[in-house]
Structure 1
Amino acid sequence: MPRSRRAVLPRLLALGAGVAALTSAGCFNGPDPPDLFLVQRTGSIADARLTLRISDDGGAYCNGGPRREISSAQLIEARALTHDLDGVKDGDNGLAGRNLRLAPGKVSSLTYRVRSEKGVVVFSDTSARQPQAFYRIAQLTRSIAKGPCGLAR
């Protein structure tokens, strides 16, 4: 074997070992999973403020903090809500595609701004004529906030 090839072989082996070490350490996992949606909750009651990002791998990010694991049931519900927000078939824009914004009722405690791939919806806990999906978003947000996020509300 020529001298230049003998010098390259150990370097290639070392490079391969380095890539294997990074991969097994979780440092080279490829692209991040897509986000399902982002909820921004505000309100007039204590601990109302929350920014919650839910990713398709079962992760929740609370107020810009580290990844928190959500339950399988919460992930299934988040995926179902994504279908409600973005639509399931081509041509179906879902709720977010219509940029649905509902006015709050006379007395409101919490307001939700939800951004998904297709657009934004805004509603309040007392908005009239809410689609069922909005009640489910509020319930899921509270469940994740109190559970994996460790918040009071």
Structure 2
Amino acid sequence: MQVLQDAGRIALAKALAAMPAHIAWGRGDGAWNAPPATPSNRTALLDEICRRQVVDVGYAVPATAADYDVEMPGPVYYKRSVDPTPYLLLTTTFGFEDAQGETVRECSVFFGTVAAGGVPAGQRLLLPADVATPGAMYALEYRGPVTRSGTTKATEEIVIPL
């Protein structure tokens, strides 16, 4: 049996880091009282609200609770790395008015999104109507419902182990 090597995982991380990346939020199913088991075969959010371009793409390494830069649910800890690693770190911040009043139940990472014609170059927030090609859904997370208010920004830091 072949085993993917760290050098191959780093090559994959570099390839993904070179692609356009977006973090998207979705409404999910309003009938969910609690998030269901997350499937591995989804290609789209159930009811996408918006997606925001990733503004910081970097690398991370596993860390401890005593010395970390990024905390993920679990809790799982990572430190940022200046050198490429098999752990891709994606960061973006949704603005105060992004998805204001919406209930977010899904969060996803897409690689290769293409904006529709007429969307101004450099526009970082895309509504579903602004997307010509959604790209490939790489990761999906179901969340307990979070209702967005216009009084906070929301920073998404996602580590993708490859």
Bucket of the pairwise TM-score, normalised by the shorter protein: under 0.3
Q: Whose RCO is larger (CA < 8 A, sep 6+)? A: 2
Higher Rg: 1
Q: TM-score, normalised by structure 2?
A: 0.22
Q: Name whichever structure is richer in helix by fraction.
A: 1
Q: Name whichever structure is richer in strand by fraction.
A: 2
Q: TM-score, normalised by structure 1?
A: 0.23
